Each structure stands twice: as structure tokens, then as C-alpha cells.
Structure 1
Amino acid sequence: MTTRESSYTENVDNAHVRALDRAHVFHSWSAQGALDPLVIKSGEGCRLWDYDGREYLDFSSQLVNTNIGHQHPRVIAAIKAQADELTTIAPAHANWMRGRAAEKILERAPAGFAKVFFTNAGADANENAIRMARAVTGREKILSAYRSYHGGTGSAIAATGDFRRVPNEFSRGHVRFFNPFLYRSEFWADNEEEECQRALHHLRRVIECEGPASIAGLLLETIPGTAGVLVPPPGYLAGVRALADEFGLVLIFDEVMAGFGRTGAWLALDHFDVVPDLITFAKGVNSGYVPAGGVIVNQCIAHHFDDEMFYGGLTYSGHPLAMAAICATLETMQEEGIVDNARHIGETVLSPGLARLAQRHAHVGEVRGLGVFHAIELVEDRDSRAPLAAAKVGKLKQTMLERGLLPFVVANRIHVVPPCIVTAGEAEQGLAIIDEALGTLV
């Protein structure tokens, strides 16, 4: 290290990093002027530190992606080893690490899946799944849910249901429907069975009214994440599969957030015994250590492109460093029982702990989730179910940060999404901080 470099790094502190960020970095999904980003220097496992040594328990997994936690030594070593051998290669070439990564991903997919198309993230995974569905069917329309998030790129954001799509609806051929959510039912349902039946009837009518011969596919998060960790009622996904079969639609399950251990299963679809035609993934497949995503393609669709051109590709598809991170992550998750840990923590700590919070705090309308994928629905009062005001949610978030918890807060919800490696003690610590913070609400 040169004298200049040494002097520069020695002077780095929270204030310097924050000032540098505010001077030069343009942030996503934000009005830039009022930002005051949290500074993070380092991390390990489920914990993060700033330059002052202040510690945070990460209950966000960042953007619900660091499933194996921060700085896992085995994955770091795999990335370093791959960098020593081959840092990058064009996707047209065969590369051993890419083949291994595809093989390991297919081992976790249902029977009948044949190939993996690698992308750089979840958004372009959904872009290319949509492209495949349109190419195979010769149709254009894509159906997706209002309560959904599929990414920030052209077709992915147009398929998204939340408010961020509205200024970005440049991609054509997107139609949305209401997916089930009993707590805020659009169908006047009183129980999960009614919610399921009525949601499926609604979807059938949308398909019929849009014209089945114009619809290429149906894109659905297996468990909608950003929209609120909305675990579908029993029978819903099977009903969607039946509708897709009846009308000849390609069924795409978006597992970008819910996949690779997050729900206490390798894929969220494992909970429901339903097999789609395409599966998109990213995030937890290598904990975001090096950006990666992809589409898991079933045999029928893969064979379609044996003789037909697939009009899609990315410079960094199957990047060797990302592939090494995937291989090491999936091996580590298997050998260290990380998926089982996520299930166990969800069943024995998070689910009962959140139920107790719901009993203790009047501003908790509902808690729900699986594994280390839960949400707390915050309301002004339980009778009206009116979402808790944004100012109160903001104050609640600040209180949690002050107590050393890094939360994932969306709209009127706290998403309880620690890394899949979280210990019982860490999970209980996080719940205790949330409990304290909720106690400050008036």
C-alpha cells in the first residue's frame, strides 16, 4: 500500500463515507435531496458494523438476499480461488464453474427441469422468462398480480403490481389481477377457503375476458415478498396451475426473494407441491456476494429452442465469480443444514414470538410467514385495519435502529427476514427489540 493510500484509508470514518456518498452516488427508488444513508463498514454472520464500531443485528438480510449471512469464509474463499484461475469469460464459451452451478441449481428444482439460463439479477431473470413465454407461445400478454414486485427493468417493472410501475409502464402487453390476501380481501371473503375460491374465479374471468389466445404466460411470486410475505391459501397455486394448463399458458414462478432457503425449504414452491414451467431466481442462490440470477427452464421449453433462436443474452451471463459463489453457497447450505435451520427458527422462535407480539401490541394487525420470511402488518387500530401512518412507521424504524436492529420496513409492515443462519438467540434478540420499539407507539 502506498503512503497516499494508507493516509486516505486511515482518515475514513462514518462522516467521510456519508459525505462521499451524498456528493457522488445516485440512489435507487429515492428523492435524492433528503437521503441520510446508514453507513456500514463490515459484517460477519448476522451482524454489521459502522466505522465507529456500532453494531447492528441484520434483520433485513439487506434486500432479503444474504441468506448465508455476511462474509461466509467458504464462499469468500471460492470467489478468491476462481479469481486466481479465471475472472471472466464470454457466455458463449463453456466454463466448468458455470456448468457446476447449473447442475447444482437443477438438483434443487422439481423433476422435469433441464437447463438454467443465467442472468445478472432477479429483474433480468423475469425479463427473460417473459421473453421465453412469448417466444414459445407466439402470444404477447403476461398476467401478473397487483400485489407483486418483479424487478426494476422494462418488462419486470411493468409486470410489477405496486406503485413503482406507474411511471415506468413502457413495456406493452401486461395485465394484472388480484392475488389472495385474506386480511385485506378484495373478495369479501371470511376464510381462506373462500379467499382461494374467489381469487381463482377472478383470475379465470380475467383470462377469459382478456382472451386466452392472446396470453403467453402468468407470472406469480410463489410467496409475494415485497408486497407483504403473502403466503397463498391452500389450493391457490394448484388452482393457478390448473388454469394455466386449461388455457395453455406458461406458468412462471418468481422465486427471486422466496427461494434458496428463505422459507425453510430449498424453493418456496416445495411447500405447495405445484410445478411451474419456468422458475426465476437470484438473491439467496449465492447471498448476493456476486450478482447473479437466472431462469430454470423445463424440458419442453428448453427443447423448443433446440431449433429456434432464443433472442436474449447478457455479457455477464454465468460470470465465473458469481458461479463460484453459487456453488460454494449451495454446498455450504447443504453441509451446514442452513435450510433446516431457517425452518426450525421459523417454527420454534419467529412464529410463536410474533404471535406473542400480536397479542401484546394493539398496532399489530396480523403476523404471517414461513421460515425466516415473516411480516408484521401494522395498523392504526384492529377494528378499522387502517394502515399505520407513514410518520409512525418511520419513527418505529428509527427506534429499532437506535436499539441496534437493522430492519426491513415496507409501507406499513416490518418484514422479519434475518439471514437463514440466524441463531435462536439472535432471533429472540431481534424480536425483543421489535417488542420494545412497538411499545413506544402511542
Structure 2
Amino acid sequence: MPTPTSEPLTALELDRFVFHSWSAQGRLAPLTIAGGEGCEVWDDTGRRYLDFSSQLVNVNIGHQHPAVVAGIVEQAGTLTTIAPGHANLARGRAARAITSLAPDGMSQVFFTNGGADANENAMRLARLHTGRPKVISAYRSYHGNTGAAIAATGDWRRIPNEHATGHVHVFTPYLLRSDFWASTPEEECERALGHLARVIECEGPASIAAILLETVPGTAGVLIPPPGYLAGVRALADEHGILLILDEVMCGFGRTGRWFAFADHLEPGTRPDLITFAKGVNSGYVPAGGVIIGDDVAATFDERVFPGGLTYSGHPLAMAAIVATLEAMASDDVVGHARRIGDDVLGPGLRSLAARHPVVGEVRGVGVFWALELVAGRGDVAPLGPTDMAFVKAECLRRGLLPFVQDNRIHVVPPCVVTAAEVHCALSIYDDVLTALEENR
């Protein structure tokens, strides 16, 4: 162990004391990040990288936004922590700011520490409100790494952690790799809804508390729902007295160029029953998440105890970060900027890459939420394997871009404040990397 006279250890040397998530520990060589500003981060040598991962797709307002940092500092000087049973100005201001953006009829927030426990508590609320045990979710999904949230998740991470009960999975739209033998978005939508209706019928509608879906599945591939799909899910839920929980943990608060991604997908006058959020609500500066609760669901607990809570629910530092983030996003039109960057710069640029590179099988996205799906070649949608994707990640880093690489995809997910010049720089790097990949294969 170091002594007071020992040479200071570097971040990488100290990292050996850290047990990393989703990793075999013996071969790790993580990139050291020493600082950041806006859409850039730098390592401990001072080398800079364009952050087109937004870390875990959460730094929506960019790194070290001065207004958010100032809000946290001011709150730290006033009150650093308080139990959730007390009223607190920072907590109330954050709840009001969030519900002011939500649809009518959703006027309360249950705060959590992040997205996973937001989904945990949304499912708990739904089960207690309906008196039903089951939750339907998608195979192509990620809802968090806690007990019920990981069981609701569809990807491989569920399998070694599948201890919670009452979870049913369905296939959702993904036209490139359709599970429904569809050839058009309309067919994919209709058949996916038919599949969901059949699963509800087979499981027994009276046993299903909720349908839990990411509005736009993120880690699963930035899978934009075809027109009519989420509206159809809402209608099926209404038909059977099932609650609709929309997980906006990754896609909410500006990521799609909307405050909430479902604004593009539900019929006017309709809404989810519960909305889960985290990440972009304060760009991850201090851990926070929550559930926006429909008034009819909240009323269930007017005279009945809600059996749930967290020590750090509505933590004052996190709440101050939420208020400062949402105020800065509103005053600077960050959400509108994200939409325009996606429509005018990022989307066209990525589609141009796809036209030039046979290895790009599909481009999907909206706002600052995009994915390049990499395949064997034109007309061959076999996904690229781990070796090729490791090459892509290494080449992006070598050229000064911090990527988000998942399975056979590059997720293009910069902060919502990214500039056109930064997008063009990233597009040039992606172009060079894809060229190198095609020459290397």
C-alpha cells in the first residue's frame, strides 16, 4: 500500500482496486478520462477525444456545463443531503420542472437513484395498482441491472440474472431482421401488434399488470418504432386494462429532439400511464432517476401505503442538477437544436456514409440518437463479428473519437449540444474507419 511519502499513483494504477461492470476483470485496460468540456473529453496525457458516446448516452447537455456545475455547488453550500420523508425546496423544484414537461394528468414524480430502480418501481406501482402479477416487455430491450429490471430486459444479460418472476417477453418491430417475415414497415407494425395481442391472450389479460417498453430501444440498436406501433400498443393496453410503462431512461430529455420520445409516436390526447427517466434529466452529473406517475395510479396510494423507498430518493445535489439542466436546456433550446442537428447534419451525413460503404447495412435514428448497423456487405445482412467491431472501436479511438460500439453497431450518440462542425469531424473519422475496415477484411 502507498505511504505518505510514496510517489502518487496514476488513475490507471489505482484502477486495479476497481471491480468493473460487465467485464472479465483480468484483461482490462480501460481508457483513462481525466476531464471534459462540452463534447470533448481528454485523457491524463492531455489527448482529446470527441465524445460521440455521451458516456452511456446520458451526457445530453455536454460535459461540465457551467450552469449545472454552479447549481450543484450552490446546493452543496446550502444542504448536501436530506432524508426523502422531508419536504425540500430542491426536490420540489425538480418535480415541478419535470411534470411541467409531462402530459396532462401526470402530476407527481417518485424519485430514484437511476434508471434501473425507476423501472423497478414503475413495475411495482403497476402491480399494486392493478393487483396483477405479470409484466410484458421486449426481447430487444435493456431496463437495468436490478432484480425485476434485469428480468424485464430481453438481451443476454437477463439470462444469468433471471431470478424475479412474472415476466413475459415479446418480439417488437425490427424490419431489417424481421421476426414476422415482413417486407414493409406497415407489415412489420401490423404483425408485431398481432403477435403482442396473441401473447396477451395466451398469458391471460387479467394476469397482466403492465407492458413495459423503451419508447426507442437504445442499447438494442436505436430501433425507431414504425408508425402506428406504440399507438397500437396503447390501444391493446386500454382494451385489457393493462398499464403502459414507457422507459425513457435513454431516449428522453432531448435525445430524440423531443423532451420525451413518445411525442412522435402516441396519438394526440393519449399518454403512457407511467414514464421512467434518468440519464439525460441531469446529464448524469449526479445520479438520479424517477417515475412520472399518472394521476389515476397515484390516487391508488392516497389512503394506502406505497411499500417502496430509497435513502437517496430526491437527493438535493441530484435535484439541483436536474433543475439547472432543464433550465439551461430550455433557455438555450437544446432540444430543438438536437432535432435540427439530426435532421440537417447528422442524419444526412450518416446516410451518405451508408451509400459509400457496403459494410453499412442500415442507418437508423432521430435527433442525436443514431445507429450504423454493420453487415457483411451489400445484400448480405449477416452481422459483423467481434473482431471486426474491436477493430472499429480501436480505429475510432486512434483517430480521436470516443465511440459507442455495441454488438455489430456503431451508436452515434453525441451530446445534444454538439455543433455542426463537430458532427462533420466525427463523420470524417467514421468514413476513414469504415474505409480501413473494408480494406482490412
Same fold, judged at TM 0.5 (above): yes
CA distance in 2, matches of 1:381, 1:166: 31
1:65 aligns with 2:58: yes
| SS, match of residue 140 in structure 2 | coil
Tell me the residue number matched to 1:194: 187
The yes-or-no answer on 1:240 pairing with 2:233 is yes
- Please show how residues 30-429 of structure 1 align to structure 2 within 5 Å: 30-274=23-267, 275-429=271-425
Q: Secondary structure at the match of 1:29?
A: coil
Aligned equivalents of 2:384, 2:357: Cα separation in 1 = 13
Query: AA paired with 1:287?
Result: S
The alignment's C-alpha RMSD in Å is 1.2
CA distance in 2 between counterparts of 1:136 and 1:389 reads 44
* Contact 1:354/1:367 (8 A) holds in 2: yes
Paired AA for residue 85 in structure 1: T
Greater than 4 Å deviation, 4+ residue runs:
none
CA-CA distance at 1:343 after TM superposition: 0.4
Distance 1:273 1:328 in 2: 29
1:362-420 deviation line (CA, Å, top 9, x unaligned)? 11000010000000000012323000011001011100000000000100000000000
Shift of 1:431: 1.0
Q: Supply the distance in 1 between the matched residues of 2:119 and 2:44 (Cα, whole angstroms).
A: 37
The 3-state SS of whatever aligns with 1:108 is coil
User: TM-score, structure 1 length as denominator?
Assistant: 0.97
Give the residue type in structure 2 aligned to 1:148. Answer: S
Identical aligned residues as a percent: 65
Deviations 1:315-360 (A, max 9, x none): 0000000000000000000001111110011001111001001011
- The residue aligned with 1:20 is 14
Equivalent position SS for 1:105? helix
State the alpha-carbon separation in 2 of the partners of residues 396 and 45 from structure 1. 24
Matches of 1:337 and 1:215, distance apart in 2:
40
Residues 114, 299 of structure 1: 8 Å contact kept? yes
TM-score by length of 2: 0.97
Give me the whole-angstrom Cα distance separating, in 2, the residues matched to 1:208 and 1:32: 44
Tell me how far apart the structure 1 counterparts of residues 227 and 139 of structure 2 sit (CA, whole Å): 20
Contact 1:42 1:49 in 2 (8 A): yes
Which sections of structure 2, spanning at least 5 residues, go unmatched?
none
Partners of 1:244 and 1:250 within 8 A in 2: yes
Matches of 1:348 and 1:188, distance apart in 2: 33
Counterpart-to-counterpart distance in 1, 2:234 and 2:428: 40
* Alpha-carbon distance in structure 2 between the residues aligned to 1:17 and 1:333: 32
Give secondary structure in 2 for the equivalent of 1:439: helix
Whole-Å Cα distance in 1 between the matches of residues 396 and 53 of structure 2?
12
SS at match of 1:374: strand
- Cα deviation for residue 114 of structure 1 reads 1.6
- State the AA in 2 paired with 1:103: R
What one-letter code is carried by the residue in structure 1 that aligns with 2:289? G
Structure 2 letter corresponding to 1:105? I
Report the 3-state secondary structure (helix = DSSP H, G, I; strand = E; otherwise coil) of the residue aligned with 1:148. Answer: coil
Secondary structure in 2 matching 1:332: helix
**Alpha-carbon deviation of 1:89?**
0.2
The answer (yes or no) to whether the contact 1:237–1:272 under 8 Å persists in 2 is yes
In the alignment, the residues of structure 2 paired with residue 157 and residue 432 of structure 1 have an alpha-carbon distance, to the nearest angstrom, of 37
